[in-house]
Structure 1
């Protein structure tokens, strides 16, 4: 597996936007594909958040994760967020999501970020608990129950 930034592979923005749209927006109507693509494209950075880390296997993009800014309007005081952790179906269960999370944490630490937040539909916290994320809130976000978590990194 190889990891790089979306800034290194900007043509992958369409693929990542399609994954995000299909996974989190299409059925719910939470956002249009165009809006998702615009958000993904805003993450073509390497010097500061927002940015996206990609996972590649045999030169194919198979996963992504984001270092985001102020993801939830309900919590404007929470500045930095981990989000958009996605791995294609055929590569799930191989630890790639955990590697993507670890890469985002490493990058955030490099920027001097001390706290990361996230929201997950897995109300138990799932894989994020192994990285020190702790439950802060359970809320309804755009019609979906999520757990908001935070870790000191």
Structure 2
């Protein structure tokens, strides 16, 4: 495996596929947004600063990614930036890839001068807590309990 991390903006032919993976994985968040509309918004977000995404590639095969989102939770427009859209394809899991992607996004946020960043999750709070994230609050959305977490950079 010749794994490398690259910015999606340099590999836009993968944008629609990755957006579809996210739309499917987090379907509860996109229930009111058609796939094609999200794909367009996500693709635009690679250049307008809304969703810059770091992807993992094996050769030209897309394995996963993570984004540094400007905004990712409507109820908290006061917070940002966000770690968002974290996903690793099933065949590439269990190899520490998500951690590498998250660390890449952390480094980019730090490089941009942000003191901290945020995420929300409905079932991975323990995973993130082990990696330096702390719970800010719990809230109810999409018919489930959610966790809002923060990590200092």
TM-score (norm 1): 0.89
Label 1:26 to 1:80 Cα distance change in 2 as closer, same or farther (>3 A): closer
| Per-residue deviation, 1:68 | 0.4
What are structure 2's unaligned runs of at least 5 residues? none
Q: For residues 75-105 of structure 1, give each alpha carbon's deviation from its aligned partner in whole angstroms, at most 9, with x where no partner exists.
A: 1110210011000001111100000000000
Tell me what 1:10 maps to.
Answer: 12
| Per-residue deviation, 1:61 | 0.7
The ranges of structure 1 where at least 4 consecutive aligned residues each deviate by more than 6 angstroms after the TM superposition are: none
Aligned positions, number = 151
Label 1:41 to 1:34 Cα distance change in 2 as closer, same or farther (>3 A): same
How do 1:7-86 and structure 2 match up within 5 A? 7-25=9-27, 29-45=31-47, 48=49, 50-86=51-87
Distance 1:91 1:28 in 2: 24
Label 1:22 to 1:78 Cα distance change in 2 as closer, same or farther (>3 A): same
| Per-residue deviation, 1:63 | 0.2
Tell me what 2:105 maps to.
Answer: 104
Distance 2:30 2:41 in 1: 18
Kept in 2: contact 1:6–1:52 (CA 8 A): yes
Label 1:144 to 1:77 Cα distance change in 2 as closer, same or farther (>3 A): same
Tell me what 1:89 maps to.
Answer: 90
What are structure 1's unaligned runs of at least 5 residues? none
